[in-house]
A and B are shown apart, each in its own frame.
Chain A
Amino acid sequence: MTKIIGIDLGTTNSCVAVMEAGKAKVIPSAEGRNIIPSVVEPVKNLVGEVAKRQMVLNPENTVYSVKRLMGRRFSDAEVKKSQKMVVYKIKEGKDGMAVVEVGGKTYTPQEISAKILAKCKSDAEAFLGEKVEQAVITVPAYFDDAQRQATKQAGEIAGLKVERIINEPTAASLAYGLEKKKGETIAVYDLGGGTFDISILEIGEGVFEVKATNGDTHLGGDDFDERIVDWIAEEFKKEQGVDLREDKQALQRIRDAAEKAKIELSSAQETEISQPYITQGKGGQPLHLTMKLTRAKLEQLAGDLIEKTMKPVELCLKDAKIKVSDVEQIILVGGMTRMPKVYETVKKFFNKEPNRSVNPDEVVAVGAAIQGGVLGGEVKDILLLDVTPLTLGIETLGGVRTPLIDRNTTIPTAKSQIFSTAADNQTQVEINVLQGERSMAVDNKSLGRFILDGIPPAPRGIPQIEVAFDLDANGILNVKAKDKATNKEQVITIKGAVGLSDEEVKKAQAEAEKYAEEDRQKKELVEAKNQAENLVFTAEKTLKEAGDKVKSEDKEKVEAEIKNVKDILAKEGSGKEEIEQAANKLSEELQKVGAAMYQGKSQPSEGQPTEGEAPKEEAPEDKSASAKASADKAEEGEVVE
């Protein structure tokens, strides 16, 4: 299935975005920019940046701002207004609709827009490396049915199935995730390159209702640039007596410098405009342009332009029958909203912080892409299941839960660990697969158990049994246990290792938290018991192997301590401290035996390493390889990672 792209088809610029792995990403154009100028030269089929570059040479054949003509009749006031502004020819076409004439041929606004959309499509295809056939396209909230229909047709001409036409302010709200809100009132303030729009929306149950719109179709960033250019030229004229506006080359240089200064002043308080050899004086001497522009000065130069936007805002609120204080969210759209003064003016008017964390040039396209993701089934809460909600592990010696795959691991994933036997000559191990957050096996949910048998008889801790967990993207868990010596293996497949309801997950986590301390104590007790048992085992072995090399009174002492430890272990409800104390005493006596054995020997080189230390030697990890004489229960002991 192919992706549904989101397209912001703007008056001056267009922008494309797409959902990728749950996130909206703006697609760079073939020219490497995130926006595509909405300019078309249909004769040579030039679109975007390239069409814009030749506009001066070929003004009659270069169509821009065609959005103002979309779905409009030739007799519309807006069309008449456009006619005065643009150089290309606007005519009356079929059914009285406005069309453009270029190179002796007529084109509908749909056909011109289709060329922009076709570029969006091919740039997206180049970026994604796959075919793109579906799109969500945005339109201004005030577009009527005919204008929306025309936009849809433009998409179809471009070879795109238009899955939905959505309002620009709605798309901006989607980009901020506001669709989840209930009954909120949102103001979207959109100040772009050439137009200003304000919309008041109301959200209820995921439905956006446009309460009112207003704006100024001929107010934008270009007006701000013009103010700066005029100021620079005036200042220069005062100082040098030369009007730079009369020198086309100089004018172009200050235009570029003005735009650069405007952008810099969004972050800096002051910027330097420096253009050496800008022109020549009356006597032929070179003249340099060098001046400082402060943010305060810029705000003074363009203050009235910003103020001009507030009147439509007031009218819009009036039309929507909404008080300023009722507006709960304000969203800023369009490059000009980066100007601190614009932000402050809007903030002061609404007495609230406007949202501006999403790039204002891209926010509409991002919202359209999110809508595309929803339609394509890509955006769904179910994506959260892509992590394991609970820890998966197995039961090890003493009923302890040893985790293999931790909670919140992104799936699919696989992990394996080597375990060993807990007793001498143990020929089978039982693998109990557990799910949950508790430290003790019994407190977790057992997903299944199986036995691996046929392990060759060997001292405990020697066999290597690899336990591998493989959790696939569908939440199916495969558990494999393999004896490395014989390569004999057993496998179990468990379905639904991930498929838990939210409540189940919450309950399990809450329980884990609640019982964390209790679990820790239980686990420590088991570990103490395991250690004590291991020590008893070692002590008995030492005495047996040492035979008559041990003095009988020493032997008796050790035997007494062994009995003491065994009694405490057998007793119901013995505490961790009690067990540890008894074990320590036994350990001391056992060490004395070891030391005595060394003293008794004339040739220590023949001797074994002190047997008293044996438990440690055999159990590199304390809790794990502790011994237990009875081999039928708790078979697994962790030996190596």
Chain B
Amino acid sequence: MMSKKKKSASQDKIDELEHKWKRAVADYANLEKRIEKEKNHFIKFSNAQLLKKLLPILDDLELCENHLKDQGLTMILNKLKEILKSEGVEEIKTQGEEFNPEIMEAMEIIEGPKNKVIEVVSKGYLLEGKILRVAKVEVGGGKEKEIK
């Protein structure tokens, strides 16, 4: 009787340790997979922070260009856009499109065809197909809707 009891106690211990070991190995294996994924992600998106910080400057320059209509400024802007493009940054098409909350954020409803983007408050950008910054847009509320 005694030895049986003892055996089951040590068996329990073995089971417990085996369980823990399996868990640790599984954690490790999963970590490896994730690190691989993150490494790839990192290579692709390591510039995201910097690029994100540059976007407001692009916004400002565009506002400035709209006002000044200066050819020199347009040239500078185009250079900057080229650089962003070469880094995989792509503007999200919004004007006149159907509103899509995956890539746009609605700021307001204004007069215009229902659910269509009427005004772009700030442009959105994708980096390698993933959202870098969502577009902030004003969306049409349809004619039947009363607009304040």
Chain A residues close to B by CB (< 8 Å): 1, 20-21, 31-32, 46, 50-57, 127-130, 248-249, 252-253, 275-277, 286, 378, 383, 386, 473-475
Contacts and interface: CB of A to CB of B under 8 A. Distances in A.
B136 A252 contact: yes
Nearest to A31: B131
Nearest to A127: B34
B101 A276 contact: no
Nearest to A383: B20
Contacts of A277: 60, 63-64, 66-67
Scoring A56, A253, A275 by chain B CB atoms within 10 A of each residue's CB, the highest score goes to: A56
A57 B109 contact: yes
B105 interface: yes
Interface stretch (B1-9, B21-29, B78-86, B88-96): B21-29
A631 to B, nearest CB: 42
The 3 A-B residue pairs with the shortest CB-CB distance in the complex, in nearest-first order:
A277-B63, A54-B101, A53-B105
A262 to B, nearest CB: 17
A54 B99 CA distance: 9
Given A21-B24, A248-B107, A474-B17, A57 B102 contact: no
A129 B34 contact: yes
Interface residues of B, number: 37
A31 B132 CA distance: 10
A57 B99 contact: yes
Given A276-B64, A473-B17, A474-B18, A56 B102 contact: no
Interface of B: 14, 17-21, 23-24, 27-28, 30-31, 33-34, 60, 63-64, 66-67, 99, 101-102, 104-109, 115, 119, 121, 130-131, 134, 136, 138-139
Given A46-B101, A286-B67, 12 more contacts: A20-B27, A21-B31, A31-B131, A50-B101, A50-B102, A129-B34, A252-B107, A253-B121, A277-B63, A277-B66, A277-B67, A473-B17
A32 B132 CA distance: 11
A386 B101 CA distance: 48
Contact of A129 (B18, B23, B30, B131): B30
A253 B59 CA distance: 11
Contacts of B20: 383, 473
Contacts of A21: 24, 27-28, 31
Given A21-B27, A378-B23, A276 B63 contact: yes
B44 to A, nearest CB: 13
- The DSSP consensus for interface residues of chain A is mixed
B139 A57 contact: yes
A56 B108 contact: yes
Nearest to B135: A53
A53 B34 contact: no
A276 B60 contact: yes
B21 to A, nearest CB: 4
A383 B101 CA distance: 46
A473 B18 CA distance: 8
A475 B31 CA distance: 24
Given A276-B60, A276-B64, A51 B101 contact: yes
A57 B116 CA distance: 11
Contacts of B105: 52-54
Nearest to A46: B101
Contacts of B64: 276-277
B67 to A, nearest CB: 5
A473 B21 contact: yes
B106 A55 contact: yes
Contacts of A20: 27, 31
A42 to B, nearest CB: 14
A1 B23 contact: yes
A185 to B, nearest CB: 36
A249 B121 contact: yes
Contacts of A383: 20
A248 B106 contact: no
Contacts of A128: 30
B30 A53 contact: no
Scoring A20, A51, A127, A249 by chain B CB atoms within 10 A of each residue's CB, the highest score goes to: A249
A32 B38 CA distance: 12
A103 B87 CA distance: 43
Contacts of B139: 56-57
Contacts of A56: 106-109, 139
Given A21-B27, A378-B23, A53 B104 contact: yes
A497 B2 CA distance: 25
Contacts of B107: 56, 248-249, 252
Contacts of A127: 34
A425 to B, nearest CB: 45
Contacts of B104: 53
23 contacts: A32-B130, A46-B101, A50-B101, A52-B105, A53-B101, A53-B105, A53-B134, A54-B99, A56-B109, A56-B139, A57-B106, A57-B115, A128-B30, A129-B33, A130-B30, A248-B107, A249-B121, A252-B107, A276-B63, A277-B67, A383-B20, A473-B17, A473-B24
A55 to B, nearest CB: 7
A145 B25 CA distance: 40
Contacts of A57: 99, 106, 109, 115, 139
Nearest to A51: B101
B90 to A, nearest CB: 17
A453 to B, nearest CB: 34
Contacts of A31: 131
B106 A53 contact: yes
A470 B2 CA distance: 32
A229 to B, nearest CB: 15
A354 B20 CA distance: 36
A474 B115 contact: no
A21 B27 CA distance: 7
Nearest to B25: A473
Contacts of B108: 56, 248
Contacts of B119: 249
A1 B119 CA distance: 52
Nearest to B63: A277
Nearest to B45: A32
A129 B27 CA distance: 10
B122 to A, nearest CB: 8
B19 A1 contact: yes
